[in-house]
């Protein structure tokens, strides 16, 4: 079986040479303060903001008194503050790209722009929040599933104020590395798309394929790891499924 390695903490370790982009969504301030450093920003090969995410980035850059300039800002520009828009408009290196498609989220449209600019991208870090409006939360989860259909080789990690969320792929061995100073204690397997039969190794409460994960039967929320020495978790699933894991904040 084909193995897919997920190593989300590698991006937050110093001196790592990795191919990744960064997108800032609206309501992302807590995740920026927790995990985004200037080194992580500068090491990305491309950086973008989705509409109101530009407000968050400008506030964060001013707080830190550091230069966090995106390569582009995209959206219908109904969320970006006028003074923030004018600030970035005055900087020639920042592209302002208006995207009108109302059938896609700002997140999805921002990813489309990024891939058009950098087609060889392997990984994407998305700073946002999943703890605010529920429709925004479901929109982000929907985008993870939809973007996987269009860009199946792009690994997207959604970084919120307390956890990292990403899609595990069907019909392969998903190996999730968890040995890091950032790793928290809680993880979950959530079958948003459709029912899934899942086998795991490395969890406190492992799953086997005889159990069906679905929102009418069983979800593996608030799970944990087998021990503090567990190096990775293996997950095999017959349907794409959401994995989420808490992290320990990087206090800067």
Q: What domains are defined for the chain?
A: 14-161 (3.40.50.10240), 167-247 (2.60.120.320)
Task: Give me the sheet containing 3-6, strands edge to edge.
Answer: 3-6, 173-177, 232-237, 196-201, 212-213
Structure tokens at 64: 């830190």
Strand-strand pairing, 212-213 and 173-177:
unpaired
pTM score of the predicted model? 0.94
pLDDT of residue 250: 56
d(CA 235, CA 190): 12
Q: What are phi and psi of 2, to 5 degrees?
A: -60, 135
pLDDT of residue 136: 78
Instruction: Give the residue ranges of the chain where pLDDT is below 50.
Output: 251-252
CB atoms within 10 A of CB 252: 10
pLDDT of residue 252: 47
pLDDT of residue 129: 82
Strand-strand pairing, 123-127 and 20-24:
parallel
pLDDT of residue 184: 92
pLDDT of residue 249: 78
Measured in Å, how far apart are the chain's first and last C-alpha atoms?
41
> In Å, how far are 91, 104, 142, 154, 184 from 13, measured between CA atoms?
30, 33, 29, 21, 16
Close Cβ partners of 66 (under 8 Å, ≥ 6 residues apart) = 38
pLDDT of residue 237: 96
Give the total residue count for the chain. Answer: 252
pLDDT of residue 15: 64
């Amino acid at each position: 079986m084909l193995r897919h390695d997920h190593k989300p903490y590698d991006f937050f370790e110093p001196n790592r040479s990795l191919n990744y982009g960064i997108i800032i969504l609206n309501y992302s301030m807590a995740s920026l303060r927790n995990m985004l450093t200037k080194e992580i920003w500068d090491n990305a090969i491309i950086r973008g903001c989705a509409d109101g995410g530009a407000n968050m980035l400008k506030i964060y850059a001013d707080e830190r008194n550091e230069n966090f300039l995106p390569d582009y800002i995209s959206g219908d520009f109904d969320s970006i503050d006028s003074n923030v828009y004018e600030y970035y408009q005055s900087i020639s290196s920042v592209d302002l790209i208006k995207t009108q498609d109302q059938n896609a989220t700002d997140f999805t449209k921002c990813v489309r722009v990024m891939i058009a600019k950098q087609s060889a991208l392997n990984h994407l870090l998305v700073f946002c929040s999943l703890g605010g409006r529920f429709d925004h939360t479901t929109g982000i989860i929907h985008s993870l599933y939809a973007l996987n259909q269009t860009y199946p080789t792009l690994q997207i990690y959604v970084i919120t104020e307390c956890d990292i969320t990403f899609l595990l792929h069907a019909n392969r061995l998903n190996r999730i590395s968890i040995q890091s100073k950032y790793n928290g204690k809680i993880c979950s397997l959530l079958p948003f798309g459709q029912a899934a039969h899942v086998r795991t190794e490395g969890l406190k409460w492992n799953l086997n394929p005889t159990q069906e994960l679905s929102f009418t039967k069983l979800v593996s929320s608030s799970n944990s790891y087998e021990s503090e020495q567990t190096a990775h978790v293996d997950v095999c699933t017959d349907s794409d499924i959401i994995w989420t894991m808490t992290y320990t904040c990087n206090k800067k």
